[in-house]
Structure 1
Amino acid sequence: MHFQLTPKAYGKVLAHCFKYPWKAVHGVLLATDTSSSPSADPCVVVDALPWGHNWLGLLPLAEVALQLTKVYCRQHQLRIVGYYVANERVGDIKFPSALEPVVRQLPGFSPTEATDASPLLLVVRNDRLAQLGEQDEPPFLPQVWRNQQWNTLPGLQEQSGTLSSTIESFPLVVSLDSTTTVGAVHRLLKNNTEVIDQFADFDEHLEVPTSDWIANAALNQLFAQSG
């Protein structure tokens, strides 16, 4: 399976990490609903919805966020195709076990549902966020389910903005739409820190109900102007 992230989706994941650098953050990845062709390759990830930075693994809150996400997806002909998490401690690249109950609520994420079109699970390499450059690879570690837990994609290879496995039994590829996306997105976020200040996730929405956690319109507008 090949997943390709647009600058908007990639940028929102980074913005979530940059907004709460002292916290673990998590959210879901969205693609256009292609019910008529569910195995379309590549699967283009067009957006990301940030769920939280507090109460990691608290299932009731995640269930509420999931239901609101599903409503948004129905209204905009989207579907959940992935999930991302960045750990609190720099250098921690292990998928947190506290989030396993949350992930299993997502469509297709139960190990018993595994297919060739399984969803994407990403752990953000937070130790790379401060050094993103023009030619850097995306700071992600794709995860696969094996030995009753989530593990980093075996035989991970990084080349020209693409992450893939060198092991044939794990045919997963994660890429950006261009080799310059990492540098371009990072410059946009670095030069528009006020947009990151406005960025909100579902947890922040619970504290400040006017927070624009679903649309994050200022960030969307930033990437629209970049195109």
Structure 2
Amino acid sequence: MGYKYEMGQKAYIKLVLHALKHKTSAINGILLGRLPNNNDNNSVVEIVDSVPLSHSQIPLLPTLEIALIQIEEHFGAEGISVVGYYHANERFDDFELGNVAKRIGDHIFRYFPHAPLLLLDNKKLEALLKGNDRNPVVQLYTRDASKSWRQDASCQLTMKEPSANIVLMDYISTEKWQDIVDFDDHLDDISKDWLNTDLLK
């Protein structure tokens, strides 16, 4: 049986704003949420937040490790865990899940063996910006028994709030994406808030 993934509005909007801020760079981040009860037959992974990581040093695992330690320290006390990974490719016309994304996805998989990997779908994002689509602008990948990342029809991604794209468009129209801070920005200037505490207020 495939897992179901339910994505909250906050996690989703931060992911897309991160990609819009760095349109000509590959970007990535961590998905945070609550792990399902192993005894629960309705296995739903709740994705409640996302932490933007990088827009320049994506292949560097040491940077990823530093970020993961800080993320775990901050969110662990709240009962929130690392549950997945998101990625957007550098080129707008690149719709493939590349080796770097897969490698980092494998790393996150060690934290949670049902971790989803979300790849930003630029075609869907373009359709959303034109007002032609209301579907999530990400593709869901999960790792199968052969350790390959695939789009599996038995695994579903749904939005917790059906109006998430409408709210997202409001943030885009006010250019809120300019305010998002990723971990790269924080390492350059530690006064910048990688938690983006006030971003969506």
Seen in structure 2, the aligned counterparts of structure 1 residues 5 and 38 have a Cα distance that, compared at 3 Å, is: same
For 2:56 and 2:133, the matched residues in 1 are separated by 33
How far is 1:40 from its partner? 5.9
Residues 25, 52 of structure 1: 8 Å contact kept: yes
Seen in structure 2, the aligned counterparts of structure 1 residues 192 and 137 have a Cα distance that, compared at 3 Å, is: same
1:18 alignment counterpart: 20
Aligned with residue 107 of structure 2, among 80, 105, 108: 105
Aligned with residue 159 of structure 2, among 162, 176, 197: 176
Aligned residues: 196
Aligned with residue 92 of structure 2, among 85, 90, 94: 90
For 1:143 and 1:34, the matched residues in 2 are separated by 18
What is the identity, as a one-letter code, of the residue corresponding to 2:174? N
SS at match of 1:219: coil
2:171 alignment counterpart: 189
Determine if the alignment matches structure 1 residue 124 to structure 2 residue 106: no
How far is 1:4 from its partner? 0.8
2:149 alignment counterpart: 150
What is the identity, as a one-letter code, of the residue corresponding to 1:204? D
1:160 alignment counterpart: none
Aligned with residue 212 of structure 1, among 189, 193, 196: 193
TM-score with structure 1 setting the length: 0.76
1:159 alignment counterpart: none
Give the alignment's Cα RMSD to 1 decimal: 2.4
2:138 alignment counterpart: 140
Q: CA deviation digits over 1:105-139, x for unaligned, max 9? A: 32546xxx85xxx1111111123323213742111
SS at match of 2:200: helix
SS at match of 1:76: coil
Residues 35, 46 of structure 2: 8 Å contact kept: no
SS at match of 2:84: strand
Unaligned 5+ runs, structure 1: 155-164, 166-170, 222-227
What is the identity, as a one-letter code, of the residue corresponding to 2:160? D
Seen in structure 2, the aligned counterparts of structure 1 residues 6 and 58 have a Cα distance that, compared at 3 Å, is: same
1:9 alignment counterpart: 11
Residues 13, 164 of structure 2: 8 Å contact kept: no
Higher relative contact order, chain-length normalized (CA < 8 Å, sep 6+): 2
For 1:78 and 1:42, the matched residues in 2 are separated by 14
How far is 1:88 from its partner? 0.6
Residues 135, 179 of structure 1: 8 Å contact kept: no
SS at match of 1:217: coil
What is the identity, as a one-letter code, of the residue corresponding to 1:150? W
Aligned with residue 51 of structure 2, among 49, 52, 71: 49
What is the identity, as a one-letter code, of the residue corresponding to 1:81? V
SS at match of 1:48: strand
Seen in structure 2, the aligned counterparts of structure 1 residues 148 and 207 have a Cα distance that, compared at 3 Å, is: same
How far is 1:90 from its partner? 0.9
| More deviation, 98-107/8-17 | 98-107
TM-score with structure 2 setting the length: 0.85
